Amino acid sequence: MRVEGSGAIVAGGASGLGEATARALHERGAHVTIADLNQAKGEALASELGERARFVTCDVTDEEQVAAAVQQAAPDGLRISVCCAGVGWAERTVSKRGPHQLVPFETVLRINLIGTFNVLRFAAAAMNELEPLVDGERGVCVNTASIAAYDGQIGQIAYAASKGGIVGMTLPAARDLSSRGIRVVTIAPGTFDTPLLGALPQEAREELGRAIPFPQRLGDPAEFAALAIHIAENAMLNGETIRLDGALRMPPR
Protein backbone atom coordinates (compact mmCIF):
# COMPACT_ATOMS: atom_id res chain seq x y z
CA MET A 1 0.00 0.00 0.00
CA ARG A 2 1.39 3.36 -1.01
CA VAL A 3 0.62 5.90 1.74
CA GLU A 4 1.27 8.95 -0.41
CA GLY A 5 -1.93 10.02 -2.13
CA SER A 6 -4.12 7.55 -0.22
CA GLY A 7 -7.13 8.53 1.85
CA ALA A 8 -6.89 7.71 5.56
CA ILE A 9 -9.16 7.99 8.57
CA VAL A 10 -7.88 8.00 12.14
CA ALA A 11 -10.54 7.46 14.80
CA GLY A 12 -9.44 8.95 18.10
CA GLY A 13 -7.03 11.02 16.04
CA ALA A 14 -7.06 14.24 18.06
CA SER A 15 -4.60 13.16 20.76
CA GLY A 16 -2.20 10.47 21.93
CA LEU A 17 -1.50 7.52 19.65
CA GLY A 18 -4.11 8.69 17.17
CA GLU A 19 -2.65 12.18 16.87
CA ALA A 20 0.84 10.77 16.26
CA THR A 21 -0.56 8.46 13.59
CA ALA A 22 -2.50 11.25 11.89
CA ARG A 23 0.67 13.35 11.81
CA ALA A 24 2.76 10.49 10.39
CA LEU A 25 0.22 9.65 7.69
CA HIS A 26 -0.05 13.30 6.69
CA GLU A 27 3.73 13.68 6.60
CA ARG A 28 3.90 10.72 4.23
CA GLY A 29 1.43 12.39 1.86
CA ALA A 30 -1.91 10.84 2.84
CA HIS A 31 -5.22 12.71 2.86
CA VAL A 32 -6.15 12.41 6.54
CA THR A 33 -9.59 12.59 8.15
CA ILE A 34 -9.28 13.04 11.92
CA ALA A 35 -12.37 11.61 13.64
CA ASP A 36 -12.73 12.37 17.34
CA LEU A 37 -15.13 13.61 20.01
CA ASN A 38 -12.75 16.40 21.05
CA GLN A 39 -13.67 19.08 18.55
CA ALA A 40 -11.25 21.71 19.85
CA LYS A 41 -8.19 19.48 19.66
CA GLY A 42 -9.28 17.86 16.41
CA GLU A 43 -9.88 21.14 14.61
CA ALA A 44 -6.62 22.56 15.94
CA LEU A 45 -4.68 19.56 14.64
CA ALA A 46 -6.36 19.67 11.23
CA SER A 47 -5.66 23.38 10.99
CA GLU A 48 -2.01 22.85 11.93
CA LEU A 49 -1.56 20.10 9.36
CA GLY A 50 -3.30 22.21 6.73
CA GLU A 51 -3.91 20.92 3.22
CA ARG A 52 -4.97 17.24 3.00
CA ALA A 53 -6.29 17.22 6.58
CA ARG A 54 -9.83 17.59 7.89
CA PHE A 55 -11.61 17.04 11.17
CA VAL A 56 -14.99 15.44 11.75
CA THR A 57 -16.74 15.04 15.09
CA CYS A 58 -17.30 11.36 15.71
CA ASP A 59 -18.46 9.18 18.58
CA VAL A 60 -17.32 5.69 17.60
CA THR A 61 -20.25 4.13 19.47
CA ASP A 62 -22.70 5.99 17.20
CA GLU A 63 -22.94 4.12 13.93
CA GLU A 64 -24.47 7.09 12.10
CA GLN A 65 -21.56 9.32 13.12
CA VAL A 66 -19.02 6.68 12.12
CA ALA A 67 -20.74 6.19 8.77
CA ALA A 68 -20.73 9.97 8.22
CA ALA A 69 -17.04 10.26 9.12
CA VAL A 70 -16.14 7.48 6.68
CA GLN A 71 -18.29 9.11 4.03
CA GLN A 72 -16.28 12.32 4.42
CA ALA A 73 -13.04 10.36 3.99
CA ALA A 74 -14.31 8.29 1.06
CA PRO A 75 -13.85 10.90 -1.70
CA ASP A 76 -10.10 10.83 -1.00
CA GLY A 77 -10.05 7.14 -1.93
CA LEU A 78 -10.10 5.63 1.56
CA ARG A 79 -7.36 3.02 1.70
CA ILE A 80 -6.16 3.26 5.31
CA SER A 81 -8.19 3.12 8.52
CA VAL A 82 -6.65 3.37 11.98
CA CYS A 83 -8.78 3.14 15.13
CA CYS A 84 -7.19 4.47 18.31
CA ALA A 85 -10.36 5.51 20.15
CA GLY A 86 -10.59 4.03 23.63
CA VAL A 87 -11.08 4.55 27.35
CA GLY A 88 -10.06 2.81 30.56
CA TRP A 89 -11.71 2.03 33.88
CA ALA A 90 -10.21 0.74 37.12
CA GLU A 91 -12.40 -1.51 39.29
CA ARG A 92 -12.06 -4.99 40.72
CA THR A 93 -14.52 -7.77 39.99
CA VAL A 94 -15.49 -7.62 43.67
CA SER A 95 -14.39 -4.94 46.13
CA LYS A 96 -15.45 -3.56 49.51
CA ARG A 97 -18.27 -1.79 47.66
CA GLY A 98 -19.57 -5.07 46.28
CA PRO A 99 -19.55 -6.48 42.74
CA HIS A 100 -18.11 -4.57 39.79
CA GLN A 101 -20.59 -2.00 38.47
CA LEU A 102 -22.20 -3.12 35.24
CA VAL A 103 -22.56 0.29 33.56
CA PRO A 104 -18.80 1.10 33.48
CA PHE A 105 -18.07 -2.40 32.18
CA GLU A 106 -20.64 -2.00 29.41
CA THR A 107 -19.36 1.50 28.61
CA VAL A 108 -15.74 0.40 28.22
CA LEU A 109 -16.75 -2.49 25.98
CA ARG A 110 -19.03 -0.26 23.95
CA ILE A 111 -16.36 2.35 23.28
CA ASN A 112 -13.29 0.13 22.91
CA LEU A 113 -14.71 -2.99 21.28
CA ILE A 114 -17.96 -1.99 19.58
CA GLY A 115 -16.46 1.36 18.61
CA THR A 116 -13.53 -0.40 16.94
CA PHE A 117 -15.93 -2.76 15.17
CA ASN A 118 -17.97 0.20 13.90
CA VAL A 119 -14.90 1.87 12.42
CA LEU A 120 -13.70 -1.42 10.95
CA ARG A 121 -16.99 -2.36 9.26
CA PHE A 122 -17.78 1.05 7.79
CA ALA A 123 -14.21 1.70 6.62
CA ALA A 124 -13.97 -1.76 5.05
CA ALA A 125 -17.30 -1.23 3.28
CA ALA A 126 -15.95 2.02 1.77
CA MET A 127 -12.72 0.30 0.72
CA ASN A 128 -14.74 -2.46 -0.89
CA GLU A 129 -16.16 0.09 -3.35
CA LEU A 130 -12.70 1.01 -4.64
CA GLU A 131 -10.95 -0.55 -7.57
CA PRO A 132 -8.18 -2.86 -6.40
CA LEU A 133 -4.58 -1.75 -6.74
CA VAL A 134 -2.11 -3.57 -8.97
CA ASP A 135 -1.51 -6.27 -6.34
CA GLY A 136 -5.25 -6.72 -5.71
CA GLU A 137 -5.26 -4.77 -2.44
CA ARG A 138 -8.08 -2.38 -1.67
CA GLY A 139 -7.16 -1.21 1.81
CA VAL A 140 -5.92 -1.90 5.32
CA CYS A 141 -7.59 -1.52 8.72
CA VAL A 142 -5.35 -1.08 11.76
CA ASN A 143 -6.93 -1.53 15.18
CA THR A 144 -5.54 -0.76 18.64
CA ALA A 145 -5.67 -3.32 21.43
CA SER A 146 -3.29 -3.41 24.41
CA ILE A 147 -0.99 -5.88 26.10
CA ALA A 148 -3.70 -5.84 28.78
CA ALA A 149 -5.51 -8.22 26.43
CA TYR A 150 -2.92 -10.79 27.52
CA ASP A 151 -1.58 -9.42 30.82
CA GLY A 152 -4.61 -7.68 32.31
CA GLN A 153 -3.79 -6.40 35.78
CA ILE A 154 -5.83 -6.23 38.96
CA GLY A 155 -8.67 -3.79 38.39
CA GLN A 156 -8.43 -4.01 34.59
CA ILE A 157 -11.16 -6.55 33.91
CA ALA A 158 -13.29 -4.22 31.78
CA TYR A 159 -10.34 -2.80 29.86
CA ALA A 160 -8.70 -6.19 29.34
CA ALA A 161 -11.96 -7.75 28.16
CA SER A 162 -12.50 -4.97 25.63
CA LYS A 163 -8.97 -5.19 24.27
CA GLY A 164 -9.08 -8.98 24.25
CA GLY A 165 -12.17 -8.71 22.06
CA ILE A 166 -10.26 -6.58 19.55
CA VAL A 167 -7.48 -9.17 19.42
CA GLY A 168 -10.07 -11.93 19.01
CA MET A 169 -11.79 -10.36 16.03
CA THR A 170 -8.58 -9.57 14.12
CA LEU A 171 -8.08 -12.92 12.39
CA PRO A 172 -11.74 -13.61 11.51
CA ALA A 173 -12.08 -10.05 10.18
CA ALA A 174 -8.97 -10.53 8.04
CA ARG A 175 -10.37 -13.81 6.75
CA ASP A 176 -13.78 -12.25 6.08
CA LEU A 177 -12.20 -9.45 4.05
CA SER A 178 -9.45 -11.42 2.32
CA SER A 179 -11.45 -12.00 -0.84
CA ARG A 180 -11.92 -8.25 -1.14
CA GLY A 181 -8.21 -7.46 -0.77
CA ILE A 182 -8.63 -5.70 2.59
CA ARG A 183 -6.16 -6.45 5.37
CA VAL A 184 -6.78 -6.24 9.13
CA VAL A 185 -3.95 -5.91 11.65
CA THR A 186 -4.00 -5.00 15.34
CA ILE A 187 -1.32 -3.26 17.39
CA ALA A 188 -1.17 -4.11 21.11
CA PRO A 189 0.88 -1.33 22.72
CA GLY A 190 2.41 -1.52 26.16
CA THR A 191 2.95 1.52 28.38
CA PHE A 192 3.07 4.63 26.22
CA ASP A 193 3.53 8.30 27.00
CA THR A 194 -0.01 9.44 26.21
CA PRO A 195 -2.42 11.93 27.84
CA LEU A 196 -3.80 9.00 29.86
CA LEU A 197 -0.51 8.94 31.80
CA GLY A 198 0.05 12.69 31.59
CA ALA A 199 -1.75 13.30 34.89
CA LEU A 200 0.74 11.09 36.78
CA PRO A 201 3.70 12.70 38.58
CA GLN A 202 6.97 12.57 36.66
CA GLU A 203 8.45 10.15 39.22
CA ALA A 204 5.57 7.72 38.72
CA ARG A 205 5.92 7.91 34.94
CA GLU A 206 9.65 7.23 35.18
CA GLU A 207 8.98 4.24 37.43
CA LEU A 208 6.59 2.82 34.83
CA GLY A 209 9.31 3.24 32.22
CA ARG A 210 11.89 1.41 34.33
CA ALA A 211 9.61 -1.65 34.43
CA ILE A 212 10.08 -2.11 30.67
CA PRO A 213 13.00 -4.45 29.88
CA PHE A 214 14.30 -2.44 26.92
CA PRO A 215 14.18 0.36 26.19
CA GLN A 216 13.61 1.35 29.82
CA ARG A 217 11.23 4.21 29.13
CA LEU A 218 7.65 4.83 28.16
CA GLY A 219 6.82 4.24 24.53
CA ASP A 220 6.73 7.24 22.24
CA PRO A 221 3.44 7.65 20.30
CA ALA A 222 5.61 8.27 17.22
CA GLU A 223 6.79 4.64 17.54
CA PHE A 224 3.20 3.45 17.41
CA ALA A 225 2.63 5.64 14.36
CA ALA A 226 5.73 4.22 12.67
CA LEU A 227 4.38 0.70 13.09
CA ALA A 228 0.98 1.73 11.71
CA ILE A 229 2.75 3.15 8.64
CA HIS A 230 4.78 -0.03 8.22
CA ILE A 231 1.63 -2.15 8.44
CA ALA A 232 0.05 -0.07 5.70
CA GLU A 233 3.09 -0.50 3.48
CA ASN A 234 3.76 -4.21 4.13
CA ALA A 235 1.14 -6.25 2.29
CA MET A 236 2.13 -9.53 3.97
CA LEU A 237 1.05 -8.28 7.40
CA ASN A 238 -2.51 -9.51 7.80
CA GLY A 239 -4.65 -11.12 10.49
CA GLU A 240 -1.99 -10.53 13.14
CA THR A 241 -1.77 -8.74 16.49
CA ILE A 242 1.64 -7.18 17.08
CA ARG A 243 2.82 -6.42 20.61
CA LEU A 244 4.66 -3.10 20.81
CA ASP A 245 5.89 -3.16 24.38
CA GLY A 246 9.69 -3.35 24.78
CA ALA A 247 9.32 -6.98 26.02
CA LEU A 248 7.09 -5.88 28.91
CA ARG A 249 4.93 -8.52 30.57
CA MET A 250 2.76 -6.77 33.10
CA PRO A 251 2.69 -8.16 36.66
CA PRO A 252 -0.64 -8.68 38.48
CA ARG A 253 -0.49 -5.14 39.92
Query: pLDDT tens, 42-79?
Result: 999 999 999 999 999 999 999 999 999 999 999 989 99
Catalytic residue among 159, 177, 229, 232: 159
What integer pLDDT is reported at residue 203 of this predicted model? 81
**CATH assignment, 7-244:** 3.40.50.720
Q: Are strands 98-99 and 94-95 parallel, antiparallel or unpaired?
A: antiparallel
Q: Catalytic site residue 159?
A: yes
The CA-atom distances, in angstroms, between 209 and each of 78, 193, 217 are: 36, 9, 4
What integer pLDDT is reported at residue 253 of this predicted model? 86
Q: Spell out, as residue ranges, where the chain has pLDDT lower than 70.
A: 198-199
What is the total residue count of the chain?
253
What integer pLDDT is reported at residue 199 of this predicted model? 64
What integer pLDDT is reported at residue 207 of this predicted model? 86
Pair 61, 115: CB distance under 8 Å: yes
What integer pLDDT is reported at residue 18 of this predicted model? 98
